[in-house]
Each structure stands twice: as structure tokens, then as C-alpha cells.
Amino acid sequence: MNEYVQTHLLTATTLRRRQAAMIISPNLLITSFCTLLLFALVSCTQATPDSISSGKPTVTGQATENKTGSSAPDKRRRDSTANHEGILLSQTDTDGDDLPESIAVCETASICVNHPALGINHTYTNPGWEHVVLLAIQDTDGIKGAEIVVLATTTDGVLGCICIIHDRSQAMASYLGPQWSTATVKSVVDTNGEPGDEVVLVAYDRRGGLQCVCIIRDRDGTYQTYSDASWARVHINWVEDTDANPGAEVVLEVHGHHDTIYCICVIHHREDRVATYSDPRWKAVAVQLLIDTDGAPGNEIVAVYSSELDGGVSIIHDRPQSMKTIAFTGEHPSIQQVGNYDHLLGAELCIFLANQHTHELINDRSGEHAKIDNCQREQENTHT
Ligand SMILES: [Ca+2]
Ligand SMILES: [Ca+2]
Ligand SMILES: [Ca+2]
Ligand SMILES: [Ca+2]
């Protein structure tokens, strides 16, 4: 559970990242990419029928608004050494006047917003906070000016809130579910196609039990929770569009209890539904990449799975909600290269079969796979 502790949330590099999935779990992403690049062997066996279903989210919650902004001059020293995580300093327009404000964590438990044009500071804090991490500075409400997303920890060492500072109105919206003891923000990105970026997070209770994957819709001050009794652990490495409808989908790799693989589940926040993809052959499964493989709208979710001796590749078409699994008996295929081999829309997957020491090219459109000498394309200058 240590990986979920909020102190591991962010690095200073977040400022430059476009997506919070990258922002907040750089290690996870790196792992994924390494898996891809190193052509790690993932093993499994047969391909079988898919189980696909749709679910509904369970609960909604609401923010509590605090007018905690103050215009007192900031006399406090910025303690940069105490804030080795999150964004340390940013110059971003927070009040919509097109002039950049200077936003920083001051001391360890306040956010200071300096308005050089006005010559004033706004300081946001709460008496119960011991530590704050500045997660993102993005528009979350659809109104001009960036909001400031922070994670506050209380003096008891538990989650104080995921708070969003609206500097324009000097208000702070506090998001905290009843059982949220720690939380990891995974992404701040538009998930519903409506103005403003949503905050995607995973919340845990005091014992480290999964509470929810939650999406804060700051525009109307609510959050939506997605959870299921069968979900024991979730990994979120991808928050990207999969259905060609506005807004990014949240791709979950869900483990059930007793460490079984439960599903690759996709949250469609725009429609408040969860698409569930699973296969009894998956003993281990990992999403390798999202890419269009069929030439039809929407990126496919490409996963490699393994069972004991066998393995395969599962391609999820999230827009039509279908899944195609290609199994390799006695092999643990690894994806070596992905690209447009046949010059028709959609990428092909070149895989390596270690036992036979052969390569195969998977064509998702035809559903076929065939041996290929190697993964080099005829002309490496062809677009991918
Ligand atoms: Ca805004
Ligand atoms: Ca939105
Ligand atoms: Ca979408
Ligand atoms: Ca597609």
C-alpha cells in the first residue's frame, strides 16, 4: 500500500506534464513503457470468450465550499526543501485577467497566490492541515482562469481533502469522501467533454482498502465514485480517449480479492458507466498501449496476458464494446513493434514468440496473424 501514500504523489516534473496520469504515477508509466520497449514476456494460453458488461457508478458526493482566501500580505518564507513533491512554483493566470499569478506552496500547509499586477497575495490554508501538495494548476470549472488542485494532509496524517482553489472568487472547494483516508490523484484531464478538467483519483480507507475510483467534476462541485465489491486493487496507467467521444476514458486494471485478475474496466465518465472486459484465461494481464488498430474511430486498448504455459494478446474495442483475443499455445508473446505495416488504416502489432523464436504480425482488422521475418517495416519512414 505504500505506493498509494499521498506523499508519493508527485514530482516537480508535473508542471510540464500534460496529463496527470503521467503527472502522478510516473513510475507506473515508466514501467509500462519499459515493458513495451523491453518486449517483456507475458505469458498465457488460450483465447476464449470475453465477458463484457456495463455497470453504473454507485455514489455521488458534493464539495464543501470554504471562503478561506485572504488578502493578507504573505510574510512567510517559502520553504522549498519541505516540498519536494508536487509543483513548487508556477506562473499561471488564476483569476482570468490574462496576467500570470505566481502560485506556490508556502510554509508547508498553505498555498500562496501572488498577484503582481494587483500587488496582493491570497493565502489559502486550513487550521487542520499539516502539509499540502500542489498537484495541478488547470482550468477545472470551465470559467476563465486556472484552478489550483491541492492535496492536503491533516495533523493526524490522514487526507484532509482534495481541494480546488478558485482564486478568481477566492473560494476553495473541498472534496473528501467519508472513508477517504489517503488518496492518489491520477490525472487532471477532461473526462466528460464539458468545459473544465476533471480530477481522477483513487481513495483508500484507514486500513488501505480501496474506497473508490473517483472523478471530481469541479464545474458543479460534485464527485462521482466508481467502485465494486469485487475490486480489491486498481491500477490506472492510462487516462485517454478510447471511444472517440469527447473526454478521456479512465482505463482500470482491476485485481479482485485473493489477487485474481478481475478485469480491464473502462470508466466512461461522460455517460457514467463502466465497461468491463475480462477473460478466464487472464492470470496476469497488462495494458501495453492504446492505439488505433482497426481504422475505426477510437483507440483500441492492447493488453498482453498470460496463464500458466500459454499467453496471448487481447485487443479491446471500447467504442463498440468488444474484445478480440489472440492466443498462442505454449508461448508468452511480447509486443515488439507497433506500426502501420499494410498501409491500411490501423496499426498492426508485431509480436515475438520466445519459444519458437519467431515473429508474428497481428492484423486486428482481419483478425488474422501470420509469421513475419522480423518486425522491421519495409520502409521505416512510413508513418506509424
Ligand atoms: Ca477556471
Ligand atoms: Ca470536463
Ligand atoms: Ca472519450
Ligand atoms: Ca479503432
Distance (angstroms) between ligand 2 centre and the Cα of 202 equals: 18
Distance (angstroms) between ligand 4 centre and the Cα of 319 equals: 8
Q: Of 185, 212, 227, which marks where a domain is finished?
A: 227
Whether 117 is covered by a domain: the verdict is yes
Distance (angstroms) between ligand 4 centre and the Cα of 318 equals: 8
Looking at the structure of the chain, the number of domains it has is 2
Q: Which residues contact 32 (CB under 8 A, 6 or more apart)?
A: 237, 286, 287, 288, 289
Domain co-membership, 178 together with 304: no
Residue 61: pLDDT band with limits 50, 70, 90: confident
pLDDT at 29: 31
Whether 275 is covered by a domain: the verdict is no
Domain co-membership, 216 together with 96: yes
Ligand nearest to the CA of 247: 3
C-alpha of 313 from chain center: 22
Whether 110 is covered by a domain: the verdict is yes
Ligand nearest to the CA of 191: 2
Distance (angstroms) between ligand 2 centre and the Cα of 144 equals: 14
Domain co-membership, 200 together with 307: no
pLDDT at 55: 52
For the CA atoms of 349, 284, 267, 291, the dihedral, rounded to the nearest 10 degrees, stands at -10
| 280 has pLDDT over 50 | yes
Domain co-membership, 207 together with 139: yes
Whether 51 is covered by a domain: the verdict is yes
Whether 250 is covered by a domain: the verdict is no
Vertex 103: Cα angle to 100 and 104 (nearest 5): 155
358 vs 18, which has greater pLDDT? Answer: 358
Domain co-membership, 174 together with 26: yes
Domain co-membership, 166 together with 296: no
Share of the chain above pLDDT 70, in %: 78
Tell me which residue range forms the domain holding 300: 284-384
Whether 125 is covered by a domain: the verdict is yes
Q: Is the Cβ–Cβ distance between 274 and 39 less than 8 Å?
A: no
Residue 260: pLDDT band with limits 50, 70, 90: confident
pLDDT at 286: 95
Domain co-membership, 220 together with 301: no
Q: Which residues contact 191 (CB under 8 A, 6 or more apart)?
A: 198, 200, 215, 239, 247, 248, 249, 250, 267, 269, 270
- Among residues 367, 275, 261, the alpha carbon closest in space to that of 321 is found at 275
Domain co-membership, 212 together with 289: no
| 23 has pLDDT over 60 | no
Domain co-membership, 60 together with 169: yes
| 21 has pLDDT over 70 | no
Distance (angstroms) between ligand 2 centre and the Cα of 380 equals: 38
Q: Which helix (H) or strand (E) holds 23?
A: helix 20-24
Domain co-membership, 288 together with 205: no
Ligand nearest to the CA of 93: 1
Ligand nearest to the CA of 139: 1
For residues 202-224, average pLDDT: 97
For the CA atoms of 227, 231, 232, 234, the dihedral, rounded to the nearest 10 degrees, stands at -80
Q: Of 227, 248, 263, which marks where a domain is finished?
A: 227
Q: Of 211, 227, 243, which marks where a domain is finished?
A: 227
Distance (angstroms) between ligand 2 centre and the Cα of 186 equals: 15
Whether 1 is covered by a domain: the verdict is no
Domain co-membership, 183 together with 291: no
Domain co-membership, 195 together with 64: yes
- Distance (Å, whole) CA 302 – CA 304: 7
For 194, the grid coordinates are 464539458
